[in-house]
Amino acid sequence: MPASLTHNRGTAAPVFVHGWRSSGPLGVAGLAMIIRTKAYARAGLVGNPSDGYFGKTISFIVRNFAAEVVLYESPEVEILPNTRDHSRFPSLSALAEDVRKFGYYGGIRLLKATIKAFHDYCEEHGILLDNRNFTIRYRTNIPSQVGMAGSSAIITACLRALLAFYGVTIPRFIQPNLILGVETQQLGIPAGLQDRVIQVHEGLVYMDFNRELMERQGYGLYEEMDPRLLPPLYLAYRTDLAEGTEVFHNDIRGRFNRGEPAVVEAMKFWAELTDQVKDCLLRKDWATIPRLLDENFDKRREIYRISEGNLKMVEIARATGASAKFTGSGGAIVGTYPDEGTFEVLGTRLGAMGVQVVKPIILPESTSPHH
């Protein structure tokens, strides 16, 4: 049975498993490594979607769901498909069901784009890579198309595996920009930095994307906070088809760039709301936070088109006494609940409309009994 060891480099450290013989730098006593890396789902607690518009957000990692990448040395570079990448179906209805669950794209394009972006970054920065190839595959249980950052989790896990395989170090404050570029520049997917920042840093993070700061240094101010400051939270996500980010963010960018007052003011409102929630967390003022989270969604409703199913999910959650707002681009919500009775009612009522409710795990379970 092969031995294993943990490579401790920052958060979500890759796990190396001894394999066959190799002359590569990762070899230990002539043995190569099978590298396994993970990146987790995330939930925007407050401030989203202002992260893409020089705003502020607070976000946390959701360890209940993860994307995992496995990478090992091989004669050629090969990207192995996941079940959601297959192109053979037993029937038309099976094809339609696959599209309903996963959309038209799987994860291969994400891995391919990440590998290219990593190659380009190393080339631009004069980083010489070993002349070794690899095989890479992924798997994920992050709910698809519900605004929990499943795509960026695959990209983040892939980048971690590449860094470990080639022994390259990229500063943590730079990694989110590289990951964002995979989606926005390589694949043309609209996105902001929030998801990538929290998936790189993990835990609970306050983010300030102030325009002057972003234009001067290319990244924001990222402040890690103690997740134990959080009140009891729930996470609920639709198990039917939800709108993807590419649909949801339809014309907000254009309206913002044109200076539409309602959109510009909304971004400022969300940024201010984020500072209020941060202050509440630091003072342990849990009583005020539910109202602020509700206000986050109410402002979104003023300028976005919200689908009936997503709106109903929020309304049902609030009717139980919980607060509710989108975790991201729609299809999943996050909020506070006052007691266990409310959480049980949440699960029952939302479950009746095909919505799964969980308590998010933010810290490794061995370090926190509450989150």
Active site residues: 195
Per-residue burial over 133-159, b = 16 or more CB atoms within 10 Å of its CB, e = otherwise: ebbbbbebebbbbbbbbbbbbbbbbbb
In angstroms, rounded to a whole number, what is the distance separating the alpha carbons of residues 286 and 205?
Answer: 18
Neighbours of 90 (CB within 10 A): 7
| Cβ proximity of 36 and 68 under 8 Å | yes
In angstroms, rounded to a whole number, what is the distance separating the alpha carbons of residues 239 and 351?
Answer: 10
Sheet with 325-326, side-by-side order of all strands: 325-326, 332-336, 233-238, 355-358
| Cβ proximity of 245 and 329 under 8 Å | yes
Cα first-last separation, the chain: 35
| Cβ proximity of 163 and 170 under 8 Å | yes
DSSP for 185-213? IIS-----SHHHHHHHH-SEEEEE--HHH
In angstroms, rounded to a whole number, what is the distance separating the alpha carbons of residues 199 and 203?
Answer: 9
Distances (CA, A) of 56 to 149, 203, 208, 223, 260: 18, 17, 5, 11, 19
DSSP-derived pairing of the beta strands 78-79 and 133-140: parallel
